[in-house]
């Protein structure tokens, strides 16, 4: 199973991110390419603990989170198209500094080589092992790159 904690996997993802241009159009979903970059920068900052984030599991997550997590990371199957995201991770701005967000995302991907955010609690899945986080981050990143044909 691919994980963000593997150097070769990080390099593969970074190579794909580097191919993103402002001309890329989504194959599904509502985000444009800038919103996708900013979403991923913010989301990875949340996982890594680089900014002040809320680490609290929702009530529905406490009921269904562990079952959903197991289902999503049990095999190599990519995430389905159009899976919902929390309001906190929806990007409202339609445009901004494209290159800044792209480079920020790449820097965050590189930061996983030193992952140590022990306080991380997913808002739906709850407390996760490092192995679960590694697979989730890989699949989330792959999902959004595939969304834009990469």
**Residue 90: inside a domain:** yes
Alpha helices in the chain (DSSP H): 7-18, 33-48, 59-73, 98-111, 130-147
User: Going by C-beta distance under 8 Å and a sequence separation of 6 or more, which residues neighbour residue 53?
Assistant: 45, 46
Domain boundaries, position 134: 7-19+43-147
Mean pLDDT over all residues of the chain?
96
How many domains is the chain partitioned into structurally? Answer: 1
**Residue 30: inside a domain:** no
- Give the confidence band of 51 by pLDDT, cuts at 50, 70, 90: confident
Could you tell me the CA-to-CA distances from 110 to 8, 46, 47, 113, 126 in Å, in that order?
11, 15, 13, 6, 24
**Residue 35: inside a domain:** no
**Residue 29: inside a domain:** no
**Residue 33: inside a domain:** no
pLDDT tens for each residue of 7-31: 999 999 999 999 999 999 999 999 9
Q: What tokens were used for 118?
A: 């022990």
How far, in Å, CA of 92 to CA of 145, rounded?
Answer: 20
Return the SS3 of 40: helix
**Residue 98: inside a domain:** yes
The residue length of the chain stands at 150
**Residue 123: inside a domain:** yes
**Residue 34: inside a domain:** no
Say whether pLDDT at 87 is over 90: no
CB atoms inside a 10 Å sphere around CB 62: 11
């Amino acid at each position: 199973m691919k994980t963000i904690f593997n150097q070769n996997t990080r390099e593969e993802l970074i190579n794909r991110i580097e191919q993103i241009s402002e001309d890329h159009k989504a194959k599904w979903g509502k985000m444009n390419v800038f919103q996708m970059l900013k979403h991923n920068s913010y989301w990875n900052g949340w996982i890594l603990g680089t900014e002040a984030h809320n680490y609290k599991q929702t009530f529905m997550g406490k009921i269904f989170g562990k079952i959903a997590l197991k289902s999503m990371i049990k095999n190599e199957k990519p995430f389905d198209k159009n899976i919902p995201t929390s309001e906190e991770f929806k990007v409202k701005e339609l445009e901004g500094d494209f290159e800044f967000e792209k480079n920020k995302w790449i820097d965050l991907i590189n930061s996983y080589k030193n992952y140590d955010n022990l306080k991380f609690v997913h808002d739906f899945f709850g407390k996760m092992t490092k192995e679960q986080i590694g697979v989730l981050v890989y699949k989330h990143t792959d999902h959004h790159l595939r969304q834009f044909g990469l």
